[in-house]
């Protein structure tokens, strides 16, 4: 929450439409008019589309004010509009002012796989003792992170912030706003997501290292001991390094791991002389690392290990990320938010562990550049081991389907998009099946997952 006076002082803006009341309060910010919440401020950013074209729509969806770079015609009489020189700079300046006004400790999270699930697990573990401000969805860039801080309230006691990377210096810049005391790096696999945007895997590792380089000497760097690239970053921080994982030398170690398919997993976490059983409601052995990182961040900020573990057992399933959605007809493993080779392999392993007929719906893995063909072939071979039916969605997925057929999987299909996939699934999915849905974000397979579940509910 923030006032109009705070916004004007931070941004240097001026009211050009509506009646100004310096004490008027706003509930967060938005850059997408379709999801502008009641009482929020809409920032008309210039990105792939010009946000000034959607100011009226933002007010129609409940926004109370808009920050713009030029006057907007034909607005409601009561609409409050603030003009600034640059809307993105104004967003950042306001976020910095609110962060300065409420300096709470922060956990920063980055990596190429598992950021969002680790963020949700960390927020849950810290929630055992504190009120947590956390990144919404995957708002992890130069727009999303400032928007997160526009939601800060006096009652918040700790922040959990996810940070992405495309270009060198991006995470370092975000850290000047976030000011993390704890930094988590999850995984940097051989074939990382967004590989086409970066010159090399090594360059990606250096970009991720900017998080732990920003930590203070009395901070904590939590590094995945089971990932050679991540653990090799340890010398790049002044903070205390804590390795987490299943490796024998991990200070925060998991043993006795039992993956229970769609029913989640359990393991024993060891932190020095302390041990605790952890039960996670999310499926997939690969999520052990996310849970360990969450425990490490929580204990670093004063949450007892047993309390943090209890909180993890009750954490919500993140939307469209290994989300088990049960219908009267079948089960959907909704991991549709995005896809990379490592994440596809992990999701297929979960599907392969269930005792039912297994249907995998896998969409294109985009932005892999020169690694694309080999990655899709490898995914096809893995699907042949873990599934009974494979549905490839998109043009790149043709390579995956062909590789699966060559590896002996006979029940395969190729479709152009999610609409065609839905029609196919409504015809081939049987009662009792388990269906995995996964693909790159731009394919919008989350809408396919929603439609499939809704269809089953109506039936």
pLDDT at 459: 66
Minimal CA–CA distance to 318: which of 446, 409, 408? 446
User: Alpha-carbon dihedral of residues 12, 14, 15, 16, nearest 10 degrees?
Assistant: -140
What is the token pair recorded at 437? 């849905």
The residue extents of the domains of the chain are 2-90, 102-313, 323-458
pLDDT at 167: 85
What is the token pair recorded at 298? 């929580």
Nearest 5 degrees, angle CA 172-CA 175-CA 14?
110
> What CATH homologous superfamily does 323-458 map to?
Mur ligase, C-terminal domain (3.90.190.20)
For residues 65-89, average pLDDT: 95
What pLDDT, in 10s, does the model give residues 321-373? Answer: 999 999 999 999 999 999 999 999 999 999 999 999 999 999 999 988 888 99
Report residue 319's pLDDT band, with 50, 70 and 90 as the boundaries: confident
DSSP bridge partners of 82: 15, 67
For residues 24-49, average pLDDT: 94
pLDDT at 195: 58
What is the token pair recorded at 70? 């030029």
Nearest 5 degrees, angle CA 116-CA 119-CA 122?
150
Query: DSSP letter string over 245-296?
Result: ESSTT-SEEEEEEEE-GGG-EEEEEEETTEEEEEEESS--GGGHHHHHHHHH
53 φ, ψ (degrees, to nearest 5): -75, -10
For residues 213-229, average pLDDT: 98
Report residue 81's pLDDT band, with 50, 70 and 90 as the boundaries: very high
| CATH class assigned to 2-90 | alpha beta
Give the contacts of 28 (CB within 8 A, at least 6 positions apart).
1, 37, 39, 40, 41, 147, 150, 151
Under 8 Å between Cβ of 170 and 110: no
pLDDT at 456: 83
pLDDT at 190: 81
Task: Please give the Cα distance from 276 to 204 (Å, whole number).
Answer: 34
DSSP bridge partners of 108: 161, 183
What pLDDT, in 10s, does the model give residues 60-74? Answer: 999 999 999 999 999
Task: Please give the Cα distance from 317 to 298 (Å, whole number).
Answer: 19
136 φ, ψ (degrees, to nearest 5): -80, 135
Under 8 Å between Cβ of 237 and 247: no
- Please count the other Cβ atoms lying within 10 Å of the Cβ belonging to residue 89: 12
Put the strands of the sheet holding 220-224 in their side by side order.
132-134, 158-162, 106-110, 182-185, 220-224, 240-245, 252-259, 265-271, 274-280
Strand runs labelled E in 129-233: 132-134, 158-162, 182-185, 220-224
Task: Please give the Cα distance from 43 to 226 (Å, whole number).
Answer: 41
pLDDT at 196 over 60: no
> What CATH homologous superfamily does 102-313 map to?
Mur-like, catalytic domain (3.40.1190.10)
- Global pTM? 0.93
Residue found under tokens 């504190």: 130
- How much of the chain exceeds pLDDT 90, in percent? 89
What pLDDT, in 10s, does the model give residues 412-443? Answer: 999 999 999 999 999 999 999 999 999 999 99
Question: Is the backbone of residue 190 left (phi > 0), alpha (psi -120 to 50) or beta?
Answer: alpha
Strands 240-245 and 65-68: unpaired
pLDDT at 397: 96
């Amino acid at each position: 929450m923030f006032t109009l006076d705070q916004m004007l002082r931070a941004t240097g803006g001026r009211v050009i439409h509506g009646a100004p009341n310096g004490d008027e309060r706003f509930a967060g910010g938005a850059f997408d008019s379709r999801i502008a919440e009641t009482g929020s401020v809409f920032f008309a950013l210039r990105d792939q589309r010009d946000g000034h074209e959607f100011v009226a729509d933002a007010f129609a969806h409940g926004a109370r004010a808009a920050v713009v770079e030029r006057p907007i015609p034909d607005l409601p009489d009561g609409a409050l509009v603030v003009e600034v020189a640059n809307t993105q700079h104004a967003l950042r300046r306001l976020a910095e002012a609110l962060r300065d006004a409420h300096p709470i400790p922060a956990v920063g999270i980055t990596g190429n796989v598992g950021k969002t699930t680790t963020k949700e697990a960390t927020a849950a573990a810290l929630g055992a003792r504190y009120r947590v401000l956390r990144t919404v969805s995957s708002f992890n860039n130069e727009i999303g992170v400032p928007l997160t801080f526009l939601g800060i309230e006096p009652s918040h006691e700790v922040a959990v912030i996810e940070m992405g990377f495309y270009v060198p210096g991006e995470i370092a810049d975000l850290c000047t706003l976030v000011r993390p005391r704890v930094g988590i790096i999850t995984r940097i696999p051989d074939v990382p997501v967004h590989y086409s945007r970066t010159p090399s895997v090594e360059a990606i590792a250096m970009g991720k290292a900017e998080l732990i380089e920003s930590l203070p000497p009395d901070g904590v760097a939590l590094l995945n001991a089971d990932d050679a690239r991540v653990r090799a970053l340890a010398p790049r921080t002044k903070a205390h390094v804590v390795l987490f994982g299943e490796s024998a030398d991990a200070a925060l170690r998991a043993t006795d791991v039992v993956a229970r398919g769609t029913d989640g997993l359990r393991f024993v976490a060891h932190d020095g002389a302390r041990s605790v059983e952890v039960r996670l409601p999310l499926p997939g052995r690969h999520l052990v690392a996310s849970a360990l990182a969450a425990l490490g961040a929580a204990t670093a900020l004063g949450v007892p290990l047993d309390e943090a573990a209890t909180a993890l057992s009750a954490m919500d399933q993140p939307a469209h990320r290994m989300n088990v959605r049960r219908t009267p007809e079948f089960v959907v493993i909704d991991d549709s938010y995005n896809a990379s080779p490592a994440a596809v392999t992990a999701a297929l392993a979960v599907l392969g562990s269930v005792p039912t007929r297994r249907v995998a719906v896998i969409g294109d893995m985009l932005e892999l550049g020169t690694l694309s063909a080999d990655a899709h072939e490898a995914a096809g071979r893995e699907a042949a081991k873990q599934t009974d039916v494979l549905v490839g969605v998109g043009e790149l997925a043709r390579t995956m389907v062909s590789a699966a057929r060559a590896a002996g999987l006979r029940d395969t299909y190729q479709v152009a998009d999610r609409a065609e996939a839905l029609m196919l699934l409504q015809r081939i999915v049987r009662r009792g099946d388990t269906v995995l849905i996964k693909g790159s974000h731009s394919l919008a397979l989350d809408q396919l997952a929603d439609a499939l579940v809704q269809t089953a509910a109506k039936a």
